[in-house]
Chain A
Amino acid sequence: MIAEMPRDEVAIQGGPLPEILLPTNCPGCGIALSLDELRAHNYVCTECGHHFRLGADVWVPLIADQGSWLERWTDVRSHDLLNWTVPKRYQQTVETLLEQGLNEAVRTGTCTLAKKPIWLAAFDFGFVGGTLSIVAGERLARGMEQAASTGTPYVLVSASGGARMQEGVLALMQLAKVNAAVGRLHDAGVPFFSVLTDPTFGGTAASLALLGDINIAEPGAAIGFTGPRVIKQATYADLPPGFQSAEFQLAHGQVDVVVPRTELRPLLAHLLEMYS
């Protein structure tokens, strides 16, 4: 059967992307950056292909058809469970981030992508390093349960340092909570497309991010369990260039494809077509 919507007819972004703070020159090649040009190219340097890190507020309009996004569970809030005070009060960290307009390390909801309904979840690295917290785990698990029961494909975009230290062992338990829900998705035969962006580490890599039916990584994204600093500290090993890059993970059998962000949305649209 011929796909209804050929890949080259799907726009590379669902709608206009918000502006993000950028350096004046590209950290990849040093070229002077033009904001408008970058926005049109999904924040990928047109010269060297450097992928700038994006927050959930950019990922949503990049993936979702314009006007289709229905965000869920936005008022689920983090609290300081452990009385974490040093080096900074956790409660204060969270409140400051909320005032800045960020809303936890994972945002989730439903939308359409090239007119096909999906569940979408995007990590926000700007919120305590995109760390998996009780709220993040709760939003992920609820969305996956609903996707499993409605048979709606699930798309995840991850960017995370791992589990959130300030929520202690309860943050660790989120790995089990979300993986149980991933199991439900798999049992229901619902496709799960996992997009890994820079960086995806620790408890997030060791839970849902690498359990996609198809794992898609962005070029150059650092993906792994233990960060390079800790590996060096623990083993005194010299790590080769490109260690834990998306390309390294492709060569080591952990991701299915590495695609530039400018080709991501058409790829997802095509996959949704093939797997529906």
Chain B
Amino acid sequence: MSVWEIVELARHPDRPYSLDYIRRLAPDFIELHGDRLAADDPALVGGVGTWHRRTTMFLGHQKGRSLKERVGRNWGMMHPEGYRKALRLAHHAAKFGFPIVSLIDTPGAYPGAGAEERGIAAAIAQAIMEWFRIPVPIVAAVIGEGGSGGALGMGVADRVIMLENSIYSVASPEAAASIVWRDNSRKVEAAEQLQLTSREIVGMGVVEEVVPEPKGSASADYDAAARALDDALYRHMKPLLDEPSSQLLQHRYDRFRYIDSLIRAEPHFGPKID
């Protein structure tokens, strides 16, 4: 499969979205809404459900299925209110000791004037910093598109895994092409250069595991894809449940502080350390 074919699979309109997984992982899921400041961002869903006999906080980017729902959910692109809602629910989870599962599937944060006016940069910055202070276990999974700061704003976790045909990138191929060539039609070349496939990302040490998808990709069998995701998420979550929170937070810090260490370990790659 070419890199661009993987990008298209990751974005495929038939691919299961966050709610498709969450409802299979926790059939009693109750969605909770709102940032308690101004709004509810439908591009991010959150709520509680019972998962492996434990109340768990689920968060996930949600794209729409029909055109109407796509517009309503803003194609999974969060506004500042979404990051504030995520933090509210994270603190809620911390208060009750619920572990957190975060599903990532976004082209990026919303690149519009309204988002800028309401402080999207600071909202993402605050979220990324605040995740390091949430004293409950967090496991994140990239299930489709992991686009830029918009994805990382939901992706600071103790373990991060990726579905086989998902992508994770510093910018969408279109945005990268627009930045590097000033021409977003060179997206295919950009995708190839960015090394955004799950296999390449796990090779860089940025995620812990690539979860195989059913034959014909996750779109072909939602139940089997959800079972594979469930199994991998819980395998990573289980050991975290017994860790004291101070140790958990220290390990989370170290995970990101030294995330480029696989590259640095190579004599000819990465910054030389003095």
Q: Which of B179-198 contact A (CB under 8 A)?
A: 179-181, 184, 189, 193-196
Q: Which of B94-142 contact A (CB under 8 A)?
A: 109, 111-113, 115-122, 124-126, 128-129, 132-133
Q: Are B260 and A183 in contact (CB under 8 A)?
A: no
Q: Which residue of A lies closest to B201 (CB)?
A: A169
A195 within 8 A of B: no
Q: Are A225 and B268 in contact (CB under 8 A)?
A: no
Q: Which residue of A lies closest to B190 (CB)?
A: A165
Q: Are A254 and B122 in contact (CB under 8 A)?
A: yes
A173 contacts which of B195, B260, B269 (Cβ < 8 Å)?
B260
A237-258 near B? 1/0 per residue, CB < 8 Å: 1010001100000001110000
B175 within 8 A of A: yes
With the chains together, A157 CA to B148 CA distance in Å?
A: 23
B116 contacts which of A77, A87, A209, A231 (Cβ < 8 Å)?
A231
Q: Are B121 and A168 in contact (CB under 8 A)?
A: no
Question: Which residues of chain B have C-beta atoms less than 8 A from A163's C-beta?
Answer: 148-149, 170-171
The count of A-to-B residue pairs whose CB atoms sit within 8 angstroms is: 186
Q: Which of B230-255 contact A (CB under 8 A)?
A: 252-253
Q: Are A141 and B125 in contact (CB under 8 A)?
A: no
B113 contacts which of A75, A76, A161, A235 (Cβ < 8 Å)?
A235
> Number of A residues contacting the other chain (C-beta, 8 Å)?
65
With the chains together, A139 CA to B133 CA distance in Å?
A: 23
Question: Which residues of chain A have C-beta atoms less than 8 A from B195's C-beta?
Answer: 82, 168-169
With the chains together, A253 CA to B123 CA distance in Å?
A: 12
Q: Which residue of A lies closest to B120 (CB)?
A: A225
B156 within 8 A of A: yes
B166 within 8 A of A: no
With the chains together, A54 CA to B206 CA distance in Å?
A: 34
Question: Which residues of chain A have C-beta atoms less than 8 A from B168's C-beta?
Answer: 169
A170 within 8 A of B: yes
A208 within 8 A of B: yes
Q: Are A176 and B156 in contact (CB under 8 A)?
A: yes
Q: Which residue of A lies closest to B205 (CB)?
A: A170
Q: Which residue of A lies closest to B112 (CB)?
A: A235
B228 within 8 A of A: no
Q: Which of B26-76 contact A (CB under 8 A)?
A: none
> Number of B residues contacting the other chain (C-beta, 8 Å)?
58
Question: Which residues of chain A have C-beta atoms less than 8 A from B116's C-beta?
Answer: 224-226, 231, 243-244
Q: Are B180 and A79 in contact (CB under 8 A)?
A: no
A230 contacts which of B178, B193, B259 (Cβ < 8 Å)?
B178
Question: Which residues of chain A have C-beta atoms less than 8 A from B196's C-beta?
Answer: 168-169
A170-187 near B? 1/0 per residue, CB < 8 Å: 111101110111111010
Q: Which of A63-84 contact B (CB under 8 A)?
A: 73, 75-79, 81-82, 84
B90 within 8 A of A: no
Q: Which residue of A lies closest to B113 (CB)?
A: A237
A143 within 8 A of B: no
B249-274 near A? 1/0 per residue, CB < 8 Å: 00011001101100100001111111
Q: Are B169 and A172 in contact (CB under 8 A)?
A: yes
B176 within 8 A of A: yes
Question: Which residues of chain A have C-beta atoms less than 8 A from B122's C-beta?
Answer: 205-206, 210-211, 254
A186-223 near B? 1/0 per residue, CB < 8 Å: 10000000000000001101111111000000000001
B84 CB to nearest A CB, Å: 13
A84-B193, A134-B270 are known contacts. Are A170 and B112 too (CB-CB below 8 A)?
A: no
Question: Which residues of chain B have C-beta atoms less than 8 A from A87's C-beta?
Answer: 180-181
A163-B170, A175-B149 are known contacts. Are A211 and B259 too (CB-CB below 8 A)?
A: no
Q: Which residue of B lies closest to A204 (CB)?
A: B121
With the chains together, A77 CA to B274 CA distance in Å?
A: 11
Question: Which residues of chain A have C-beta atoms less than 8 A from B169's C-beta?
Answer: 168-169, 172
B133-159 near A? 1/0 per residue, CB < 8 Å: 100000000000000110011011000
- 20 A-B pairs (CB sep. < 8 Å): A75-B274, A76-B271, A77-B271, A82-B195, A165-B194, A168-B196, A169-B194, A170-B263, A173-B152, A173-B260, A175-B128, A175-B152, A177-B257, A202-B149, A205-B121, A206-B153, A211-B129, A225-B121, A254-B119, A254-B122
Nearest 6 A/B pairs, CB to CB: A205-B121, A225-B121, A226-B111, A76-B271, A206-B124, A176-B256
Given contacts A163-B170, A179-B132, A252-B117, 8 further A-B contacts (CB under 8 A): A134-B271, A165-B171, A165-B180, A168-B204, A179-B129, A183-B129, A205-B122, A254-B121
- Chain B: residues with CB nearer than 8 A to chain A? 109, 111-113, 115-122, 124-126, 128-129, 132-133, 148-149, 152-153, 155-156, 168-171, 175-176, 178-181, 184, 189, 193-196, 201, 204, 206, 252-253, 256-257, 259-260, 263, 268-274
